[in-house]
Amino acid sequence: MALSRVSSSSPSILLKPLSSYLSLRRRSVSSSSTDPLTVETSLPFTAHRCDEPSRAVETSAAELLSFFRDMALMRRMEIAADSLYKAKLIRGFCHLYDGQEAVAVGMEAAITRKDCIITAYRDHCTFLSRGGTLLEVFAELMGRRDGCSKGKGGSMHFYRKEGGFYGGHGIVGAQVPLGCGLAFAQKYCKDENVTFSLYGDGAANQGQLFEALNISALWDLPSILVCENNHYGMGTAEWRAAKSPAYYKRGDYVPGLKVDGMDALAVKQACKFAKEFALKNGPIILEMDTYRYHGHSMSDPGSTYRTRDEISGVRQERDPIERVRKLLLSHEISTEKELKDTEKEVRKEVDEAIAKAKESQMPDPSDLFKNVYVKGLGVEARGADRKEVIATLP
Amino acid sequence: MSTKFGRLVSLVCKRGFSISTSVQKGASEQGVKSLNLCSAINQALQIALDSDPRSYVFGEDVSFGGVFRCTAGLADQFGKKRVFNTPLCEQGIVGFGIGLAAMGNRAIAEIQFADYIFPAFDQIVNEAAKFRYRSGNQFNCGGLTIRTPYGAVGHGGHYHSQSPEAFFCHVPGIKVVIPRSPRQAKGLLLSCIRDPNPIVFFEPKWLYRLAVEEVPEDDYMLPLSEAEVIREGSDITLVGWGAQLSIMKEACLDAEKEGISCELIDLKTLIPWDKETVEASVNKTGRLLVSHEAPITGGFGAEVSASIVERCFSRLEAPVARVCGLDTPFPLVFEPFYMPTKNKILDAIKSTVKY
Ligand SMILES: Cc1ncc(C[n+]2csc(CCOP(=O)(O)OP(=O)(O)O)c2C)c(N)n1
Ligand SMILES: [Mg+2]
């Protein structure tokens, strides 16, 4: 996208060494942004009972640019949600995904929308990667009609049926057996699709996880269990809660792969591998080694159970956006200025979406009774005090 | 084991703190202190750990103080062998607690939110509640107390707001207790911990910081299965528990301005509950209103209503009124509509009295 604008002589380009300027020009003239490009993952994969995929990941300039843009957008969106929460425009519980963006974008790059994704409550960015819009995100966060769940779900309950996104679950671990059911249905249809069931390192200790693993393996389901290991379940470090924090091995008889979850390309490679593997052999666990920058939820400052150095260390050395930025610069696909411009653009997009979301109406009071059952049951509703309308519903 | 419990239970009776208002003067060996509900719970746990070396406090993040800080400082004081974090596994937490209690210990488990108690529902209903009965009294888990915060907080949404007490009231073999204030919370929690039956203790999280009152600093217990008339009146009896009582109290004050005299009863223990106190009150007033946050259908209000109709049928001058949560999942943006608010209660008081 930004490639066509490279040749305009902006000051930042003039300050750069000539060679890079020339190579940029050359690239924009002679090569297409979709030409294949091979990039090595910075860390190896670690496999349990399966071969590991190649570290050489095939990508393209266009893909790297879209990774950058999408992750920058997610980051900005989450930071904006943080401010809206503090301004009390978002109520309820709110869990942010910044730091973990590479998992969402890398996974999406490897699969199709016919593949299913189901996750827990940290769901804003996965919703976006499945084709959701910023307006739907902010409207839902603020409990408005234009939200992806019509304002009735809030932060923890995002869904997008047409994007194969099954949400958005509040009870830790509960979504994973659901994923088995999705995978069974897919297998039955023989249309070669798979389900990715995401859960955290804390959730990995729930009994339901082991039930889901056994079911998936017993029935050879195209079920991929993705442990997003951000190393904390609320304030509990993984090693305090798990005898074996090697989550990719926790399936015992189920193969697993440990992946650098801060590297979108490694995530993409692993998900591609896992999809092929699961269609042939049944379930596999992917452990994504990742990190959440924010506290667990909005009431957690996130700094009492881990050091500030730990957080800033990850930001400096492993940040998923910075990694892609470096790739874009070193392969001379973009200039620093272009990437800054992209960041400015997404900022504007986010601001515009928020403004629009604020204009969206609250749901109608009668919606309170909708969707409890297929049909309403003739219940009578009344507002908090007698000044509000009494509505009798069908 | 049972003799130990027996001794402690008789201690409650000796101290005779049956009416909370009298506690303040009677028991102030070490004086009283103004505490919020969260600190009162903390103090009760501290006393429980201190007074019995075989008591343990555990749950998700409790050694760090828990999400509501109710267990703050306890791990420092009593060590990480007695106050410890569990993994995120409610079924395991309660099952573990049953085993620990079966060995003669006091297992004080925390379930982070009442909304997350359901993975442990089977352990509570099928294991804890029936252990004594089905083993012919060879085994029991009477030392088990499960503490869990329940109820609305203004914007908790679907999974941080529910009031699931009625599910547990359908289970003979466990007790269900809900305090309304800091002083009540401390005394009732200590009774629960020392009671020889497994108990689910629901804490009104809305009041953790909001409710502040004078709480005796020493070790005291309030009796279980004894309701308390917290406001006397002659025209109508109102029955509630936990956080809802503060809303009902406001409705009583408003009703008074319109010349209606309300009697307000705190049930405190939901099973086994004190029917006599409610019966006596309704025999006096001739009218009954029950109010709770949980959905109306199948709520514990239905049980109170049915029992009182059985006992006071000929004395009732109006149908029993129930002002409760609506029959919907606990909503996010619609919380004000869902809640049994003061005005809804006031309207029901007036129409019941005018009936
Ligand atoms: C059954 C259940 N128990 C407890 C909670 C409260 N809770 C919400 S998130 C969480 C920690 C989960 O950690 P992890 O699985 O690592 O996911 P992360 O938040 O790190 O993404 C806890 C204890 C819950 N939502 N459901
Ligand atoms: Mg985690």
Residues 81-110 of A with CB under 8 A from B: 91-93
pLDDT reported for residue B336 = 87
CB-ligand 1 contact for A235 (6 Å cutoff)? no
CA pair distance B8, B195, nearest whole angstrom: 8
pLDDT tens string A159-189: 999 999 999 999 999 999 999 999 999 999 9
The number of residues making up chain B comes to 355
CA pair distance A282, A274, nearest whole angstrom: 10
pLDDT reported for residue A38 = 97
Residues whose beta carbons lie less than 5 angstroms from ion ligand 2: A 200-202, 230, 233
* Burial environment of residue A19 by CB neighbours within 10 A (0 to 12, 13 to 18, 19 or more): exposed
pLDDT reported for residue A370 = 82
pLDDT tens string B146-172: 999 999 999 999 999 999 999 999 999
Give, using CA atoms, the residue closest to atom 22 of ligand 1.
Answer: A234
Whether B310 is catalytic is no
Determine whether the interchain pair A171/B159 forms a contact, defined as Cβ–Cβ distance below 8 Å: yes
Instruction: Pick A381's closest partner by Cβ from B91, B157, B326.
Output: B326
Determine whether the interchain pair B88/A377 forms a contact, defined as Cβ–Cβ distance below 8 Å: no
Q: Is residue A386 less than 8 Å (CB to CB) from chain B? A: yes
Give the atom of ligand 1 at the shortest distance from the alpha carbon of A204: 15
A88 — pLDDT class (breaks 50, 70, 90): very high
Smallest CA-to-CA distance from B281 within B221, B354, B230 is with: B230
Three-class secondary structure assignment of A130-176: CCCCHHHHHHHHCCCCCCCCCCCCCCCCCCEHHHCEEEECCCCCCHH
Q: Identify how many contiguous H helices and E strands chain B contains and give both numbers.
A: 15, 14
Residue of B333, B335, B338, B347 for testing the chain A interface, max A β-carbons within 10 Å: B333
Instruction: Measure CA B242 to chain center.
Output: 6
pLDDT tens string A220-234: 999 999 999 999 999
pLDDT reported for residue A33 = 87
Q: Is residue A355 less than 8 Å (CB to CB) from chain B? A: no
A376 — pLDDT class (breaks 50, 70, 90): low
Give, using CA atoms, the residue closest to atom 19 of ligand 1.
Answer: A233
- B290 SS3 class: strand
Buried/exposed code over A205-224 (b: 16+ C-beta within 10 A; e: otherwise): bbebbeebbbbbbeebbbbb
Lowest mean pLDDT among A126-140, A205-219, A359-373, B189-203: A359-373
Three-class secondary structure assignment of B148-189: EEECCCCCCCCCCCCCCHHHHCCCCCCEEECCCCHHHHHHHH
How many CB pairs below 8 Å do chains A and B form together? 113
| Residue of B60, B110, B127, B160 with catalytic role | B160
- The pTM score is 0.90
pLDDT tens string B6-53: 333 333 333 333 334 334 444 445 799 999 999 999 999 999 999 999
Determine whether the interchain pair A235/B116 forms a contact, defined as Cβ–Cβ distance below 8 Å: no
pLDDT mean over A289-313: 96
Distance from residue A206's CA to the centre of ligand 1 (Å): 10
pLDDT reported for residue A21 = 38
Whether B279 is catalytic is no
List the structure tokens of A13: 């380009």
Mutation probe of ligand 1 site: the residue of A126, A156, A169, A172 with most atoms within 8 A of C-beta: A172
Please check whether residue B196 is in contact with residue A193, taking contact to mean a CB–CB distance below 8 angstroms.
no
List the structure tokens of A206: 């729930």
Q: Is residue A173 less than 8 Å (CB to CB) from chain B? A: yes
pLDDT reported for residue B147 = 98
Chain A residues in contact with B88 by the CB 8 A cut-off are 172-173, 202-203, 205-206, 233, 236, 241
Average pLDDT, chain B: 92
In CATH, what number does B228-354 get? 3.40.50.920
The Cβ-side half-sphere exposure at B242, using a 13 Å CA radius, reads 25
Predicted ipTM of the assembly = 0.88
Residues of B with CB under 8 A from a CB of A: 60-61, 64, 67, 85-89, 91-92, 115-116, 118-119, 154-160, 326-329, 331-334, 336-339, 341, 343-344, 347
Distance from residue A120's CA to the centre of ligand 2 (Å): 11
Superfamily assignment of B19-216 in CATH?
Answer: Thiamin diphosphate (ThDP)-binding fold, Pyr/PP domains (3.40.50.970)
Please check whether residue B182 is in contact with residue B158, taking contact to mean a CB–CB distance below 8 angstroms.
no
B342 — pLDDT class (breaks 50, 70, 90): very high
Please check whether residue B324 is in contact with residue B291, taking contact to mean a CB–CB distance below 8 angstroms.
yes
Q: Is pLDDT above 80 for B240?
A: yes
Angle (CA) B217-B14-B201 rounded to 5° is 60
Domain ranges of chain B: 19-216, 228-354
pLDDT tens string A100-137: 999 999 999 999 999 999 999 999 999 999 999 999 99
pLDDT reported for residue A371 = 85
Average pLDDT, chain A: 90
Q: Which residues contact A142 (CB under 8 A, 6 or more apart)?
A: A84, A89, A90, A151, A357, A358, A360
pLDDT tens string B247-266: 999 999 999 999 999 999 99
Q: Is pLDDT above 50 for A74?
A: yes
Mutation probe of ligand 1 site: the residue of A234, A293, A299, A300 with most atoms within 8 A of C-beta: A234
Q: Is residue A49 less than 8 Å (CB to CB) from chain B? A: no
Lowest mean pLDDT among A326-335, A337-346, B29-38, B59-68: B29-38
pLDDT reported for residue B29 = 56
Q: Which residues pair with A117 in a beta bridge?
A: A165, A196
Q: Is pLDDT above 80 for B70?
A: yes
The number of residues making up chain A comes to 394
CB-ligand 1 contact for B92 (6 Å cutoff)? no
A175 dihedral zone (left: phi>0; alpha: psi -120 to 50; beta)? alpha
pLDDT reported for residue A383 = 54
CA pair distance B314, B311, nearest whole angstrom: 8
Q: Is residue A384 less than 8 Å (CB to CB) from chain B? A: yes
Instruction: Say which residue the tokens 């272009």 belong to.
Output: A338
CA pair distance A355, A352, nearest whole angstrom: 5
pLDDT mean over B291-316: 97
One-letter identity of residue B50: D
Q: Which domains does chain A have, with CATH numbers?
A: 45-50+61-321+338-359 (3.40.50.970), 365-394 (no CATH)
CB-ligand 1 contact for A205 (6 Å cutoff)? no
Q: Is pLDDT above 50 for A14?
A: no
Give the atom of ligand 1 at the shortest distance from the alpha carbon of A228: 21
pLDDT reported for residue A32 = 78
CB-ligand 1 contact for A372 (6 Å cutoff)? no
Determine whether the interchain pair A91/B334 forms a contact, defined as Cβ–Cβ distance below 8 Å: no
Cα distance from A303 to chain B (closest Cα, Å)? 13
Distance from residue A93's CA to the centre of ligand 1 (Å): 12
Same CATH topology for B19-216 and B228-354: the answer is yes
pLDDT tens string B183-234: 999 999 999 999 999 999 999 999 999 999 999 999 999 999 999 999 999 9
Chain B residues in contact with A207 by the CB 8 A cut-off are 89, 91-92, 119
Closest chain A residue to the Cα of B326, Cα to Cα: A381
If one compares A61 and B22, the residue with the highest pLDDT of the two is: A61
